[in-house]
Chain A
Amino acid sequence: MLRSSVEDGSAPASREGATNGAAHAPLRVAVVGNPNAGKSTLFNALTGLAQRVGNYPGVTVERKSGTFEVAGRRIELIDLPGTYSLAAHSPDEMVAVDLLLGHVAGERAPDAVLAVIDASNLERNLYLLSQVVDLGLPVVVALNMSDVAERRGIHVDAEQLAARLGAPVVPTRANRGAGVDRLREALRAVADARAPTRPPVAYALPDPLAQGVAALRSGVAAPARAALSRDLHEFELLRALVDEEGHAEARLRALDGGAAEALAASRARARGPSTVPLSALEAQSRYRWIRQLVTGCVRRDERMPATWTDRIDRVLTHKVSGTLVFATAMLVLFESIFAWAAPAQEALEAAMGWVGGAIGAWMPEGALRSLLVDGVVGGVGSVVAFLPQILLLFLFLGILEDCGYMARAAFLMDKVMASVGLSGKSFIPMLSGFACAVPAVMATRVIENRRDRLATMLVTPLMTCSARLPVYAVMISAFVPQRTVLGGWVRLSALTLLSLYLLGIVTAVAMAFLLKRTLLRGPAPPFVMELPSYKVPSLRVLLQRLRERAVAFLARAGTVILAMSIVVWALAYFPHGERPAVAPAAAHAAAVSAGDDVAARAAQLEGSALGRVGHALEPVFRPLGWDWRITVATLASFPAREVVVATLGTIFNLGDAENDPEGLERALAKARRADGSPLFTLPVALSVMVFFALCCQCGATVATIRRETNSWGWAWFTFSYMTLLAYGASLVVFQGSRWFGA
């Protein structure tokens, strides 16, 4: 559509040229900008649905790219993580610098940079731009949110700014799509011309820094060039010099054993007798340049109008009203994923059940039918069952994030979270864990600090998620005495449920504390967080992000969950049709002859690989008070803990356990050990519940942690520590409650 509008006025020859251009490799444009500058909205407005999401090799930073076509030229936009500065202390900032310099494996350096600048917050946004200009690439500036700036009495003269920067400045209002066509054309022209941006009002490094960079170049250049087989960029040297203990320094040290001395010497050279840190020196000089740049381009009204953000903040961060609104927002968030997702989830499960039934009726009995019905359809069912919760949670989190409230929530809760060594940003992901750990782990992306994010991710699965409830419900109503305690006010069953929730919270907090002091120890990250202006979220951006999340979950986690479901199915199905090798041969024969389907299934399960493993592992779980049947049911529920209800139903010879909880409770109460004593006593029931409270029986969570950390290591670590913790706690509970004669 864009091509035709431009081609109308062009001669046939130039159209020919344009078509040839499109056949070449697309022009590459990297998008940089501060968080909250409207970068994602503008990216979506430019590329529409033509987007791809992936990961950069070796780091957990998401790589998002999209394409569009203008004047017959294809342009690939690469959306870099939102950053305030190119000083690289986080992987996000490192990826941004490396990509801009063309140092990411398999990625050509961009042909141009699109810098998204928030006009209502010009000076701080121009800080990043001043560093980007240093890289020597062609730059186009999108002057975004000019409407917000106008309302706040800040008037920016875009043409004047463009003249001083030596780069096109296109006013945009990304949420309305205004200015987008002009921006596309400017990007094409600048990227095609390949002329680095050189501002007429030039920024020069202050002398001490320039001398430090020169000293560093002569100190490390030769060995680094040999190791990298390329020259070090001026900006890389500046970063290594200024960013103490940053990524650039770490990389230099790794390349060259002598780099540490050269660094120390060049820093001493740059610092001289002054006590001002080099980073402050750089910031001062850049902000001075920014003042030169904007003087005369920006007019401010005499009296700044009180902004909506001020007025809203007066309510939302107030001691009383702020706390009330926060509690209400969290309650709605929690209730929605807990309750509103349930009908959709049930509908999806019913649909999967219908599909399974249809396949079952249509195919002949055999391994293939069982694989499709129990393995594939069951596995797909447990994948899609998470979708309603994921979509709802992310819709809510997206609204909170985009309207600006998320930062206020972190502001309100920071002191609480700081006491365990985390920051306010960990609160909402951990709270979301009460509904479902899968979207909660995905929600940790708001935490920039890697160690904080990992710690939050690793403890969130300990929160009592909704899938634990069916297990608790069956066990509590079957085995916890119907009594009231505390003077008749509280039922013992309710107290048990509350204790299980508390067990999850206390363990999660203790683990976070422990992790932050051992494996994830490091300097406390600064909690210097922008409180963005409130704004109305864009529905288009929200839906786009929802789609991304859903696709990411289905594609990356879904396949792993499906594979695990099929493995467990195979273990429960094979060997099939033989006489079970262990005890119940007679029962099996009797059951088959009586046509008793349920009993036959129970016998089949016992004779299967899973049943044999259950028997073999029985001694391991005996100290918890378990027999082989509980062991098998627990093993079968590792892909998804809620499956245990159905498995218990099968093992204890019950038809439809899920729709007949009372029947299952009776069957469990009647179950006997070999010596005739009841299998489930209160200590055994408590031991099972505590195990389910702490164990990571959720393939989806493991797969999601693996996706979010880009490593199986952390996924297995979570699985292992939770399982060991569950075993230990169950052991203590069972042996302890027997000791006290409960």
Chain B
Amino acid sequence: MRTLDQLRPGMSARVVRLAARGAIGQRLSDMGFVEGTAVKLIRAAPLGDPLEVEIQDYLLSLRRAEAHLVEISDA
């Protein structure tokens, strides 16, 4: 299964499932990572981590380790 951290800058995808449980999973769910939502990777920070994504009309920063918990499919 592809995950959000494998997306290339400028590419979009849809959220399939969160592999995260506990507080991180809940945070991502609350922030709009629910099944079927469109997500676009904007860019990575200059040092390679964290990532900047667009979801639900806003911009969000999350670490690669967290993005790895978001399973995606083609948009």
Interface residues of A (CB under 8 A from B): 84-85, 87, 89, 120-124, 127, 154, 242-246, 276-277, 279-280, 282-284, 287, 309, 313, 317-319, 322-323, 407, 410-412, 414-416, 418, 424, 523, 525-533
| Contact among A87, A245, A317, A322 for B30, CB-based, below 8 A | A87
A123 to B54 CA separation, bound complex (whole angstroms):
13
Contact with A along B45-75 (1 / 0, CB 8 A): 1111110100011111111001000000000
Query: Considering only CB atoms, which chain B residue lies closest to A86 in the complex?
Result: B30
Contact assessment for B48 and A415 in the assembled complex, using a CB-CB cutoff below 8 Å? yes
| A89 / chain B contacts, CB cutoff of 8 Å | 23, 26-27
| B60 / chain A contacts, CB cutoff of 8 Å | 528-531
B18 located at the interface, meaning its Cβ lies under 8 Å from any Cβ of chain A in the complex: yes
Contact with A along B2-18 (1 / 0, CB 8 A): 00000000000000011
Given contacts A123-B32, A123-B56, A282-B29, contact A523 B49 (CB under 8 A): no
Given contacts A124-B32, A414-B63, A415-B45, contact A528 B23 (CB under 8 A): no
Contact assessment for B23 and A530 in the assembled complex, using a CB-CB cutoff below 8 Å? no
Contact assessment for A120 and B57 in the assembled complex, using a CB-CB cutoff below 8 Å? yes
Q: In whole Å, how far is A37's beta carbon from the nearest beta carbon of chain B?
A: 11
Contact assessment for A85 and B30 in the assembled complex, using a CB-CB cutoff below 8 Å? yes
Contact assessment for A317 and B57 in the assembled complex, using a CB-CB cutoff below 8 Å? no
- Show 15 A/B contacts (Cβ-Cβ < 8 Å), sorted by A: A243-B26, A277-B26, A279-B29, A287-B34, A319-B46, A407-B61, A411-B50, A414-B49, A526-B24, A526-B62, A527-B61, A529-B60, A529-B61, A530-B58, A530-B61
Q: How many residues of B contact A (CB 8 A)?
A: 37
In the A-B complex, the 6 residue pairs with the closest CB atoms: A283-B29, A279-B26, A85-B30, A531-B59, A415-B47, A319-B46
| Contact among A127, A242, A277 for B18, CB-based, below 8 A | A277
Q: How many A-B residue pairs have CB under 8 A?
A: 138
Q: In whole Å, how far is A254's beta carbon from the nearest beta carbon of chain B?
A: 19
Contact assessment for A154 and B26 in the assembled complex, using a CB-CB cutoff below 8 Å? no
Contact assessment for A121 and B21 in the assembled complex, using a CB-CB cutoff below 8 Å? no
| B27 / chain A contacts, CB cutoff of 8 Å | 84, 89, 526, 528
From DSSP, what is the main secondary structure of chain A's interface residues?
helix
Contact assessment for A317 and B45 in the assembled complex, using a CB-CB cutoff below 8 Å? yes
Q: In whole Å, how far is B22's beta carbon from the nearest beta carbon of chain A?
A: 5
| A283 / chain B contacts, CB cutoff of 8 Å | 26, 29-30, 32-34
Interface residues of B (CB under 8 A from A): 17-18, 20-35, 37, 42-43, 45-50, 52, 56-63, 66
From DSSP, what is the main secondary structure of chain B's interface residues?
mixed
Contact assessment for B34 and A279 in the assembled complex, using a CB-CB cutoff below 8 Å? no
Q: In whole Å, how far is B7's beta carbon from the nearest beta carbon of chain A?
A: 16
| Contact among A122, A416, A523 for B47, CB-based, below 8 A | A416
Q: A322-B46, A531-B58 are in contact. List 12 more A-B contacts (CB 8 A).
A: A123-B32, A243-B26, A277-B18, A279-B30, A283-B29, A318-B46, A407-B61, A411-B45, A411-B52, A415-B50, A418-B63, A531-B52
Query: Considering only CB atoms, which chain A residue lies closest to B65 in the complex?
Result: A524
| A276 / chain B contacts, CB cutoff of 8 Å | 17
A277 to B35 CA separation, bound complex (whole angstroms):
12
Q: In whole Å, how far is A444's beta carbon from the nearest beta carbon of chain B?
A: 19
A530 to B62 CA separation, bound complex (whole angstroms):
9
Q: In whole Å, how far is A3's beta carbon from the nearest beta carbon of chain B?
A: 40
A243 to B30 CA separation, bound complex (whole angstroms):
11
| B37 / chain A contacts, CB cutoff of 8 Å | 287
Q: In whole Å, how far is A151's beta carbon from the nearest beta carbon of chain B?
A: 13
Contact assessment for B62 and A527 in the assembled complex, using a CB-CB cutoff below 8 Å? yes
A242 to B47 CA separation, bound complex (whole angstroms):
36
A532 to B57 CA separation, bound complex (whole angstroms):
11
A324 to B63 CA separation, bound complex (whole angstroms):
23
Q: In whole Å, how far is B71's beta carbon from the nearest beta carbon of chain A?
A: 12
A355 to B24 CA separation, bound complex (whole angstroms):
57
Given contacts A122-B57, A124-B58, A284-B34, contact A526 B28 (CB under 8 A): yes
Query: Considering only CB atoms, which chain A residue lies closest to B43 in the complex?
Result: A317
| A242 / chain B contacts, CB cutoff of 8 Å | 26
A280 to B30 CA separation, bound complex (whole angstroms):
8
A322 to B25 CA separation, bound complex (whole angstroms):
31
| A323 / chain B contacts, CB cutoff of 8 Å | 46
Contact assessment for B59 and A530 in the assembled complex, using a CB-CB cutoff below 8 Å? yes
A353 to B9 CA separation, bound complex (whole angstroms):
60
| A123 / chain B contacts, CB cutoff of 8 Å | 32, 56-57
| Contact among A287, A410, A424, A526 for B23, CB-based, below 8 A | A526
A122 to B22 CA separation, bound complex (whole angstroms):
26
| B26 / chain A contacts, CB cutoff of 8 Å | 85, 87, 89, 242-244, 277, 279, 283
Contact assessment for A414 and B30 in the assembled complex, using a CB-CB cutoff below 8 Å? no
A177 to B43 CA separation, bound complex (whole angstroms):
36
